[in-house]
Amino acid sequence: MKDKKSVIGVLDLQGGVHEHLDHLDRLGISYRRVKEKEDFEDLAGLIIPGGESSCLCRLLNIFEIKEVLLANYNRGLKIWGTCAGTILLAKSVVGEENCLGLIDIEVERNSFGSQLDSFISEALIKEVDPEPIPLTFIRAPKIIKVGKKINVLLKIDDYIAAAESENILVTVFHPELTGSLAFHRYFAIKCGIKFEVKKNGYTDPAWENYSWTRMARIA
């Protein structure tokens, strides 16, 4: 992990930033908060966290980093969007214009209802972890359609919950709000960072719901 491009950034404009930083730190991955143009230098990957998608899209323009993000993507930057991040990355969003449009999927916002309709579940995703992965859905979107070149990682009932292209990963749920490090490891591998294989899965037994608060104290 000491190669030049071994750092994963987390877009630090709005949303669940610290939770992602905590998971990257637990895996021993070098991380960086991304707020300005200069923060994109030599990144292997970028995580766009959950939050409010319309707000995040506006802030990308206000902070003048949308074009920088797109330019770095065109140079090979890998990107992972969780929940709102998935909406930002989608090529098509039901009833509104897209923001970044980098992955050939169609999403529908708030498909499960209000905050009160949030729920937890689990699923076996063999490409990501040999053990079932806990899933947390909070005002989640649904991926309702994908292009021919999109790899579907998880389909539940009539919607897709996780998918990927060569350079982009999207999840409508929040892996950072569970003790599972599996998706962060999977994204790191997608970014070219190597890990040893564990037969017993990638859940951190030391993780607790408030563990991420330690990252909020690290400016």
210 falls within a domain: yes
In this structure, is residue 64 part of a structural domain? yes
pLDDT in tens, 196-213: 766 566 888 889 988 889
Mean pLDDT by 10 residues, the chain (219 residues): 73 95 94 96 96 94 96 97 97 96 94 67 93 91 96 96 98 95 96 76 85 81
Query: Residue 110 has what pLDDT?
Result: 75
Residue 1 belongs to a domain: no
Tell me whether residue 162 is in a domain: yes
Pair 144, 160: CB distance under 8 Å: yes
Report the distance separating Cα 113 and Cα 116, nearest Å: 8
Which among 155, 211, 189 has a CA at the least distance from the CA of 21? 211
Domain enclosing residue 28, as ranges: 7-216
- Tell me how far apart the alpha carbons of residues 3 and 30 are, in angstroms, rounded to a whole number: 11
Beta bridge partners of 134: 122
> What per-residue confidence (pLDDT) applies to 199?
59
- What pLDDT does residue 4 have? 54
Is 131 part of any domain? yes
In a domain, 154, yes or no: yes
Backbone angles phi, psi at 206, to 5 degrees: -85, -10
pLDDT of residue 185: 96
Enzyme catalytic residues: 83, 174, 176
Residue 2 covered by a domain: no
- Write the CATH number for 91: 3.40.50.880
State residue 209's pLDDT score.
87
Number of domains the chain contains: 1
pLDDT at 3 (0 to 100):
47
Tell me the C-alpha distance between 204 and 121, whole Å: 18
